[in-house]
Every structure is written in C-alpha cells, then in structure tokens.
Amino acid sequence: MTAVPASWLIAYDPTPPHPCERLARLEGQSNFLSLLAGIEAGPDTTLDAGALGMVRSRCIPEILEAYWGSSNLHRYVLGQIVFNAIDKQSWVKDKDRIWMKGAILDAFDRVRAGHCAEGKGRAKRFGVDYAAYLATRKLAEGLFTAMEGDARPAWLRARMRG
C-alpha cells in the first residue's frame, strides 16, 4: 500500500459544503422536458430554484447565483441596481455615469470571481482619478456583499423548510 501525499490531505475537507453551493448547479440546468418524458437526466434543482422564487419579495436572489455559482447571467441588472442605489444617494453627474458603471461591473466581477481588471488601467482608460475609481469600486463591492448577506439567510430559510 502506498502512502498518501501530505498535499492531498490538506486539499481534502471532510466537512459538508455550505447549502448555498447547490446554487452553483442552477445555471444551464433544465430537466423540464426530460421530466415530462419520465427521465431523470440531471441533478434535481427544483427545490433550490423554488426557494429563489419564494424569497424574491424580501431580497434580490440573483446575487446568490452570482456569488455562489459564479454566474454572469444577471451582471448588468445587478450592476444597474447598485448604480441606482449610489445615484439615489449622491446624484451622479452625467459625465461620471460611464466610468461609475465600469467600476460597478468591476466590483461585480470581484464578488463573482474574486478578481477583476486592474484598477489603474481602467481608471486611465476612463480618464478618471484612480482614487475615485477605486472608492466607487469598493463602495459597489460593499453593496453587492450586503445584497448577498441579505439574500442568503432568506434563501436558507426557504430552502431548508421545504
């Protein structure tokens, strides 16, 4: 019998995954036609998707798909929600709209994938001060994180009751 390398033991985590990780399977899954034919072809995502629909009146559940499933599907809609929240508080000038939306989409990429385009290059391309660009990106990232923090407990309550 051969010994197991130590690096394998570090990578293996025996704890069960967080329930929200089930949302990573949602994008691109559709069992509807298969289930009509009586064939269970893929993973059952009915309860997960149903829980997303149930919490829609209390939060924005699409952020969970973006955060946990790295989904890019709702990128522009969620970005517009954050832009509207910032605009409501600070009256964004017309000349600042484009670069602010760019910073917000960069923040979405950081929340979704953990990284985004380099800030100095993006600020230079938009012709805006790097500090202002970075502050807007951090504000938007905080708003995305807050949205996810609001949606997660509501989804977990809806999902675990079913």
Contact 120, 131 (CB under 8 A): no
AA letter at 162: G
Radius of gyration of the chain (CA): 20
Neighbours of 90 (CB within 10 A): 12
What is the chain's pLDDT, residue by residue, as a tens digit (162 residues)?
566 565 555 666 778 878 888 787 777 666 666 667 777 666 677 788 888 889 999 999 999 999 998 889 899 999 999 999 999 998 889 999 999 999 999 999 999 999 999 999 999 999 999 999 999 999 999 999 999 999 999 999 998 885
Give the CA count within 13 Å in the CB-facing half-sphere of 151: 24
- Per domain, the residue ranges of the chain are 19-162
User: pTM of the full predicted structure?
Assistant: 0.81
Angle at 83 between CA 129 and CA 133, to 5 degrees: 15
